[in-house]
Structure 1
Amino acid sequence: MALDTGLIDWVAEAMAPIGTVTMRRMMGGATLYLDGTIFAISSRDALWFKADGESDAAWDAAGCPRFAMERRDGSIASMNYRRAPDDVYDDADALREWAGLALAAGMRAPSKKAKSRKGEVKKTGARTTR
């Protein structure tokens, strides 16, 4: 499945009044960031917004299904992303409204610690870790 660059360009254009959208390619899609905070993914020719326990009720009320995929063993894996409502594809105000909910979820998500290579010394704050 090819990356839908037109969709990503639309998101970047619509979100420009709020901040800068950047992307990182992943498995045929892309992870989208607004000023460094993850807020969406583009996959399966659709936009999927970041969600969490605090925002799930709003996504459920709008009928936005959770991102899910079938694994090789037949089990279903889901991620905390919700399919964007149809109006975000042609209404910049709607896109910014829903993206704001997703951005808040992204900001609430715990940050991942930087990985270090074996034997490499990393400095975190005032302490040095190995």
Structure 2
Amino acid sequence: MAAHNELVEHCRELLAPLGAVRVKRMFGGHGFYVDELFIALIAFGRLYLKADASTRARFEAAGCEPFVYETQKSSKDKPVTMSYFTAPEDAMESPAFMQPWARLALEAALRARAAKKPAAKPARPAR
């Protein structure tokens, strides 16, 4: 468990140049938020950064791997691939090396938030 906590703190330091990083335990791993945007997660002992159609090719070109998990619902279920990619190995060495990749994750999270429709306002009562 100590090694896992060390990884969480190391990743928090790597992402810190983006702003205040909030970490939340989730699904046996950790989620990382900057300005309430979910930009990264730790699962299976690896850091995964948010990606989207605009950034996926850059992650793939750097040899990063997508976040894939198996569901346990039935034997017919296929692996599920999420929009998160491992960080490049050299990016894990310092905040300076991580910064361009973290910015890509933040930009993807901003685009995802902008694409969501605003919540419907409750109807006003008739007068």
**TM over 0.5: same fold?**
yes
CA distance in 1, matches of 2:93, 2:99: 11
1:3·1:28 contact (CA, 8 Å) conserved in 2?
A: no
Residue 122 of structure 2 aligns to which amino acid in structure 1? T
CA distance in 2, matches of 1:4, 1:12: 12
Instruction: Give, in angstroms, the shift of residue 11 of structure 1.
Output: 2.3
Q: Which residue of 2 aligns with 1:43?
A: 43
Name the one with the larger strand percent. 1
2:51·2:108 contact (CA, 8 Å) conserved in 1?
A: yes
- The alignment's TM-score, normalised by the length of structure 1, stands at 0.79
- The alignment's TM-score, normalised by the length of structure 2, stands at 0.80
Q: 1:106 aligned to 2:76?
A: no
Residue 24 of structure 2 aligns to which amino acid in structure 1? R
Identity of aligned residues (%): 35
CA distance in 2, matches of 1:113, 1:69: 30
1:33·1:39 contact (CA, 8 Å) conserved in 2?
A: yes
Runs of 4+ in 1 over 4 A off after TM superposition: 111-114
Paired residues in the alignment total 119
Counterpart secondary structure, 1:53? coil
Structure 2 unpaired stretches of 5+: none
Q: Which residue of 2 aligns with 1:120?
A: none
Q: Deviation digits for residues 63-87 of structure 1, max 9, x if unmatched?
A: 1111111222242111100011111
1:2·1:29 contact (CA, 8 Å) conserved in 2?
A: no
Structure 1 unpaired stretches of 5+: 115-123
Q: Which residue of 1 aligns with 2:122?
A: 128
Q: Which residue of 2 aligns with 1:95?
A: 98
